[in-house]
A and B are shown apart, each in its own frame.
Chain A
Amino acid sequence: MSPVHLFALAAQHANWVSVRQTAVTGNIANANTPGYSALDVEPFSAVLNDTAATMARTAAGHFEMVRDGAAGSGSAPWEVRDTGTQVALDKELMKADEINRSFALDTSILRSFHRMLMTSLRSGA
């Protein structure tokens, strides 16, 4: 696993987490809407399985993941599905918490490895 894979993975995950945040925000906004059922994104593991294949195909640095020919259509690359259940405010707030932690980890990892790469490129002599 090269560092390039790690950057792309962390960036992809951060993106996935952002889409999840949007879904959770929509659920909370519609907590009192009659007939509304909660939305959520498909699990990241589903994306991970595709990552290896897609990374091999695409050029280095091209990390915009698109699925099912949705390239450039502007739709969310990860499917947001209807869970069919009513919104439970507490559950959504717990999800939001998890999202926050997860996103913080992704950005911290990105920062660390970026810093490491930059210092190793710097000339020391």
Chain B
Amino acid sequence: MISPISSIGSIGAENRVAGAAGAGAAADADFGQVLADVAASTVNTLRAGEAAAISGISGNAPVQSVVQAVMSAEQALQTAIAVRDKLVSAYQEVSRMAI
């Protein structure tokens, strides 16, 4: 759980260190893309978890694969929530900054 969050954080740090305003603008686009990808993959993992649960209930899937899919969904969701929470608290910090 810790490593996905820190990996997202480190991507942001690398982009800031890289530099100049021009590079900064490109960095925003990259970070945005990263977030979009995380969101998309989370949604897919969640959908896969639901689908596995439904076929598990109908008795069409082996229990082990259902459990695996649901666990992955839980992990993906927790990650996404952690990212969301980080973003929200970062935004609040920024908005609190004295001008």
Chain A interface (Cβ within 8 Å of chain B)? 1, 3, 6, 9-10, 13, 44-45, 48, 101-102, 105-106, 108-109, 112-113, 115-116, 119-120, 124-125
Contact = CB atoms under 8 A, between A and B. Distances in A.
Question: Interface SS of chain A: helix, strand, loop or mixed?
Answer: helix
Nearest to B89: A125
A106 B57 contact: yes
Closest 10 CB pairs of A and B: A124-B85, A125-B88, A109-B53, A13-B57, A112-B70, A125-B89, A116-B77, A6-B50, A10-B57, A105-B56
Given A102-B59, A109-B70, A124 B81 contact: yes
Question: Interface SS of chain B: helix, strand, loop or mixed?
Answer: helix
Interface residues of B, number: 24
B84 interface: yes
A45 B77 contact: no
